Amino acid sequence: MKNHVYQNGRLIQTNKKFSALKQKQKEGITNELRQRYISTINYPHIKLHPRKRDQISDEVYDLIEEKEIWTLYGEVKRHYFSKIPSFIRKNRKMMQQEENTRAITGRIGVNTTSSLC
């Protein structure tokens, strides 16, 4: 049992990959990373400073340990860095949709008031 360790009365695999986690666990980790990244971002099209990125990955890894999900820190960090462009794209799309809805509601409001007069 070279890659296993007993911890708290449980047998834990020490070389578990991120892809070996359950789908619900992966989605939960990715959602937490995305929420924290987007809430920390100042400019929608620019990546965060490396210290901020590391801080986010540290915070999320602490949450992972609290939930007793066993995976390596390097695996979480690699997954996180691979998802950053996706987070930026989704944030950019969200902002564009909000601008479009504001523009549409602004035009609707103008049209209805002008037609009533």
CA pair distance 94, 106, nearest whole angstrom: 18
Query: pLDDT tens digit string along 36-81?
Result: 998 888 777 778 888 999 999 999 999 988 988 888 888 899 999 9
Distances (CA, A) of 94 to 47, 49, 90: 16, 22, 6
3-state secondary structure of 7: strand
* Confidence at residue 95, expressed as pLDDT on a 0 to 100 scale: 86
Are 63 and 33 contacting, i.e. CB atoms less than 8 angstroms apart?
A: no
CA pair distance 6, 38, nearest whole angstrom: 37
Query: pLDDT tens digit string along 98-114?
Result: 888 888 887 765 555 54
Strand partners, 41: none
Residue 56, burial from CB neighbour count under 10 angstroms (0-12, 13-18, 19+)? buried
CA pair distance 7, 14, nearest whole angstrom: 11
Q: Is the pTM of this model over 0.75?
A: no
CA pair distance 105, 22, nearest whole angstrom: 42
